[in-house]
Structure 1
Amino acid sequence: MATSGHSGAGDKAAGASYPLRQPPRWKRNLLLLLLLVLGLWLAWTWRGLREEARVGTALGARLGCVCRFVSQRPLESCEGDLKVAGLQGAGRWVSLAEDAPSRTIKASVPLLASQSADFEASRGCRLEPWQD
């Protein structure tokens, strides 16, 4: 009687490969549902957020220009004024940047809107026209 070298008990433990455990389907489905709801909410509110951002940046550029070039205050102080100006929605995220040589203040909300206001002594601060 010849032995083949196989033992019945050792085959399953040594050579068997077990499939990796997959995460439960309900977790994956819940994540997909949350992403879908987030995407739908963003699509529904995008236009409103964009309009609020445009108004907020226009106000921010105008206030920043007057604060910086008329009142001669530092730009950080002007940004502080924007935070307490009562802006709602996307207007809360308005940030200001100064271009000193051209005497221009640029207000922006990332991915949504930006607006600039420039200063001339003869006419004060003026917003640049909106680009539609």
Structure 2
Amino acid sequence: MANNARKSGTGKWLWAIGGVALLIGGGAWAYGEEIDGQAQAGTAYMARVACSCRFVGGRSLDDCEKDKLDGMELITLVDDVEEKSVTARFPLVAANTATYREGYGCVLEEWRD
């Protein structure tokens, strides 16, 4: 009898985990395009702003982190001093790079689909 109780308890957990996975997958499918668009726009914005902060304003990348808007906490910034560029990344979704060009300021790399 104890063996049957364990089996049914395990079965309930598997169903619960499967249900949660289904909800997460459905949400990602339903809102995936919106999340992707917002991540692309957010990383493009932060790459451009941080590049200008870093290579036009002469501030440190740590100081440029202060320029993030609310909701951009997950975006990470990495600079390449040799290339004079900053890449902004939103985990597993989007990344954009802006590069300083004399006479133009910081310019985003072309977007690719």
Show structure 1 runs of 4+ deviating over 4 A. none
1:89-112 CA distance string (max 9 Å, x none): xx4421110111010111111111
Unaligned 5+ segments in structure 1 are 1-17
The separation in 2 between residues aligned to 1:95 and 1:33, in whole angstroms, is 32
Is 1:115 paired with 2:96? yes
Taking the aligned partners of 1:109 and 1:118, their CA distance within structure 2 comes to 18
What secondary structure, in the 3-state scheme, does the structure 1 residue paired with 2:89 have? strand
Distance in 2 (CA, whole Å) between partners of 1:122 and 1:55 is 24
Shift of residue 42 of structure 1?
1.4
TM-score (norm 2): 0.86
Structure of greater Rg: 1
CA distance in 1, matches of 2:66, 2:18: 40
Q: Which secondary structure state, in structure 2, belongs to the residue aligned with residue 93 of structure 1?
A: coil
Equivalenced residues, count = 110
> Secondary structure of the equivalent of 1:119?
strand
**Corresponding residue to 2:61 among 75, 79, 83:** 75
| 1:38 counterpart = 2:20 | no
> Percent identity of the aligned residues?
29
- Provide the aligned C-alpha RMSD in A: 1.9
TM-score, structure 1 as length reference: 0.75
Aligned pair partner of 2:81 in 89, 95, 100: 100
Letter in 1 for 2:50: G
